[in-house]
Structure 1
Amino acid sequence: MRAAQIIEYNKPYQLCEVPVPECGDHDLLVEVFAAGFCHSDVQVLQGQFVADLPMIPSHEPAGRIVKVGSQVQDSWKVGDRVGVLNFKNACRTCVGCLQHLRRHSKTDPRFCQRRQMAGFKHDGAFAQYMLADPETTIPLPDGISFEQGAPLMCAGATAWGALQKLLPDVQPGEAVAVAGIGGVGHLAIQLAKAMGFKTVAIDNRDEGCQLASDLPAHLRPDQVVNSSHADAHKTILDFTAGEGLAGIVVCMDSVEANAWCVQQLGARGVMVPLGLPKEKWRFDSEAMVFNELTIRGSYVSSAEQVKDMLEIVAEKDIRSHLTILDFDQIPDVAEAFADKSRKGRLVIRIGKDNTN
C-alpha cells in the first residue's frame, strides 16, 4: 500500500510502499480516504514525541471499515463510514486504567499508561489502510464527508473536550471566548455558539479574525477581537458589561498569549489552555487568587463525547475551512501548514471512495 513515513526527524516525509497491516482478532482495518494535518504533526515531525522510526504520521483519519477482527464484540461491519481517534488499545491493568475504572466503572484508553498513539508514536493515517481500536472508532454520519470528518477526530475532539471542561461553572448565555482562530479555534467558535454561549473570537492576526467573521451567520461569533489592538481588553469588557469573560479556550501555545488571556477572565472565570509550549506556563497569581480563577487541563474528548459532538456537527452544519492536498503532496504539507495566509485545516485526500 502507499504510505508516507517519517524516516528522520526534521526531514520531509518520504512516500513509500509498505505492507497492508494485518488485522488482528480485536482490530478493525480501515481504508483511509482523508487524513488531517495539524500543529501536533509538526511537533511529531520535529521529534517532540519520540518514536521508533520509520513511522507513518497523522492522527486525523476518516474512511471505511474493510475488515472486522474475529473477536470484535461491537456491531461494526464492513462498509461502515468511520473516523478514528488516535489513542487506542488500553491495557486495562495499569494505574491509569484501574483508576478510571474505579471512578467511572470502565476503562478509557486516553489515560492508559501503555496506550498506543496513532500518528504520534505508532503508525497513523498517512496510508491507504490503518488499524483501529473498536473502542475509539467513531461512526461518521452520512451528512459529514470524509474530508470534513477527518479534522473532527482531533481538532474537533480537542475543541469539544475543552468546551465541555467549562461546564458546569460556565452556563449557556454567558460570555465565552476562543483565542487563536486557526484549525482548532474556528471549530471551537462554532461549537461554542451551538452550545448557546455568547461567543468572542480572539486572534492577533487579520487572517484569524477574518476566518471568524466569515463563518455562517448562525455560527458566527458575537464579537471578534484583534488582541494586537490597544483597545482589545476594553472591547472585551464592553462586550461583557464590565464583568470580563466567564470562560476562555486558548488554542495557542504562546506563553505570553495565554498569560494575556487569563487577564480577560472575570470573577470565578475558567480558562482551558490547549497548547503544549516547550516553556512552562506563567500565570498571574494575584488574578488567580483574588478572582478565584480556574485553569483546567483538557486532553481530548472521549469516544462517547465525540459521538455527541458529531450529532451537533451534523445538526448545526458545522464545517471546517479546508485546504485539501493530494497524497503526492504530503512531502510539502509542513511547508503548506507554515503559510501564514492559510486558513482553517489542512487535509490530505488519501484515496477515492467508490462505494457511492
Structure 2
Amino acid sequence: MSNTEPLQEMRAALLREYNKPYELGRKETPKIADHELLVKVYAAGFCHSDLQVAQGQFHSKTPMIPSHEPAGKIVQVGSNCRGDWKVGDRVGVLNFKNACTSCTGCSLSKREYGTYDPRFCERRETAGFQHDGAFAEYMVADPETTVKLPESLSFEQAAPLMCAGATVWGALEKATSGLSAGSTVAIIGIGGLGHLGVQFAKALGYRTIAVDSRPEGRQLSTEVPGLDLAPDLVVDSTAPDAKEGIYGFTQGEGIAAAVVCTDSLAANEWALTLLRIGGTLVVLGLPPDKWRFDSDIIVFKELILRGSYVASRESTERMMAIVKKSNIQSHLTVVSFDGIPGIMDRYVEKGFRGRLVVQLAEE
C-alpha cells in the first residue's frame, strides 16, 4: 500500500440530530480496504441534498459526517486498487461507491454500460447520505467513482462539480442526446446546478435559455467567466408573456430540450408546455410530493420525460474536459471549517446565490 500516514484522529463535522446545526469534533481517521483510496479533503461543498439530509428526508443514520462534494489529494492507495492512481494525485470523488457486483442493479449496469456502476447498486454506499462524507480531513474513495482534476482547477471550484456539476451535466447529456449544435435548450431554475447548466449548454454549442422566477437567479445566470458562456435569453417565469417570449425565440417551435433544476411542482409542470414536438424534459428535483404532468401534452406531442441520477465516472470525465477547455466556474461562497455549524443558515438566507464550499486545507 502506497501511503502518507495520516494522523490517527481527524477533524470532522457531524450531523447528530435532524434539524440541528452540525457539530465540530474529532473522529478516528478511516482505514481503507485494499481496493480503495484515502483522500485528504481540501474542499467540500454544501448541496441542497445536504439540507434535505439534515431535515431527515433520507432517514440517514446519525451521527454522520455530511457532504458529498469532495475534492482533494490521494494520500493512500490500496494494494489491490484498480487504475493508475498515485499518492499526490488531485482528485474529485463522486458520491456512490463499492458496488457489490451481484445485485440486479449491478448486473443491469454491467450489461448496459460495460462496468458495475455503483450508482445503481442496491447495496451501494452513499457518502453524506447514509455513510460518512466529506466535511472531514480525510475520506475513503472508490476508484470506480473517482476522477482526476485538471491542474488549472482549484479544489474550491472542483468540489461543487462532484454533485451539482455532475448532476446537471449528466442531465444535459441525456436531454441533448441526438441534438445538433444550435438547437435550443432551456435550463430552468438558476441556482447551484442551473448556473453551471447554462455554462455547460453554451460550451456545447446550444442556444441557451435561462429561466428563473427570482431576480437573483436570473442575475446569476449572466455572471459567467466570459460572454461566450452567457445565456442567449433570460426569462422571468412569472412574467405574463414568459411562454410567448420563449416560443418567439424559437420561431414558434418550442424548445428542443429542458433541464429543470428545481423541485417546484409548478415549475416542472410549466416546463413541459415549452417543449417542441418530440422534445425532452429532464427532471432533477426531488419534491416531497408526487410529480404532476399533463398527460395530453405528453401523448400528443410525443414528449420524452426523463430522470437523471448524477453522472457516471466516464460522463464526469467528459465534463472535466469541458470545464478545462471553457473555463467553467461556479459562483462560490467559501467558508472555513469553523464556519460549518452556521452553513445551513447561510444556505437558506433569502437572496443566497451559487454554491457554498468549505475549505478544509490549503494547497
Q: TM-score range by the shorter chain?
A: over 0.9
Inter-partner Cα distance in structure 1 for 2:33 and 2:278: 49
Distance 1:16 1:163 in 2: 39
Residue of structure 1 equivalent to 2:263: 253
Write the letter of the residue equivalent to 2:353. Answer: K
Matched with 1:21 is: 30
Q: Given the alignment, which residue of 178, 184, 203 partners 1:175? A: 184
Q: Matched residues in 1 for 2:52 and 2:173: separation?
A: 26
One-letter amino acid matched to 2:350: K
Q: Which residue of 2 aligns with 1:347?
A: 357
Q: CA deviation at 1:262?
A: 0.6
**Runs of 4+ residues deviating >6 angstroms:** none
CA distance in 2, matches of 1:17, 1:103: 42
Measure the CA separation in 2 of the matches of 1:213 and 1:141: 25
- Percent of matched pairs sharing the same residue: 56
Amino acid at match of 2:279: G
Query: What is the rounded CA distance, in whole Å, between the counterparts of 1:214 and 1:6 in structure 2?
Result: 33
The number of aligned residues is 353
1:16 counterpart SS class = strand
- The yes-or-no answer on 1:298 pairing with 2:312 is no
Letter of the 1:149 counterpart = A
**What secondary structure is seen at the aligned counterpart in 2 of 1:171?**
coil
Query: Deviations for 1:266-312, whole angstroms, at most 9, x for unmatched residues?
Result: 11110001000011111111111111111011001100110111010
| RMSD (Å) for aligned C-alpha atoms | 0.9
| 2:227 pairs with 1:207 | no
1:79 maps to 2:85: no
Contact preservation (8 Å) 2:68, 2:133 = yes
Correspondence for 1:196: 205
Task: State the partner residue of 1:284.
Answer: 294
Q: Distance in 2 between matches of 1:204 and 1:67?
A: 46
Specify the code of the residue in structure 1 equivalent to 2:201.
Answer: A
Q: Which amino acid aligns with 1:145?
A: S
For 1:32, the equivalent position in structure 2 comes to: 41
Between 1:156-165 and 1:166-175, the stretch displaced more is 166-175
Q: Distance in 2 between matches of 1:167 and 1:115?
A: 29
State the one-letter code of the partner of 2:335: L
Residue 9 in 1 paired to residue 27 in 2? no
* Distance (whole Å) between structure 2 residues aligned to residue 102 and residue 352 of structure 1: 42
List runs of 5+ in structure 1 lacking aligned partners: none
Identify which of 250, 272, 282 aligns with 1:240: 250
In the alignment, which of 118, 121, 135 is matched to residue 127 of structure 2?
A: 118
CA offsets 1:224-259 (integer angstroms, 9 cap, x no match): 001011111111011101111111000000111100
The one-letter code of the counterpart of 2:307 is G
Q: Aligned partners of 1:224, 1:51: CA distance in 2, in Å? A: 38
Quote how far apart the aligned CAs of 1:169 are: 4.2
Q: Which secondary structure does the structure 2 equivalent of 1:83 belong to?
A: strand
Q: Which amino acid aligns with 1:286?
A: D
Superposition pairs of residues 108-147 of structure 1, within 5 angstroms: 108-147=117-156
1:263 deviates by 0.9
Structure 1 residue 90: Cα displacement: 0.3
Residue type of the partner of 2:204?
M
What residue is the counterpart of 2:279 in the other structure? 269
Taking the aligned partners of 2:258 and 2:18, their CA distance within structure 1 comes to: 34
CA distance in structure 1 between the aligned counterparts of 2:60 and 2:219, rounded to whole angstroms? 37
Q: Does 1:50 align with 2:59?
A: yes
Q: Does 1:150 align with 2:185?
A: no
Q: CA deviation at 1:343?
A: 1.4
2:313 aligned with 1:308, yes or no? no
Contact 1:325/1:346 (<8 A) preserved: yes
TM-score by length of 2: 0.96
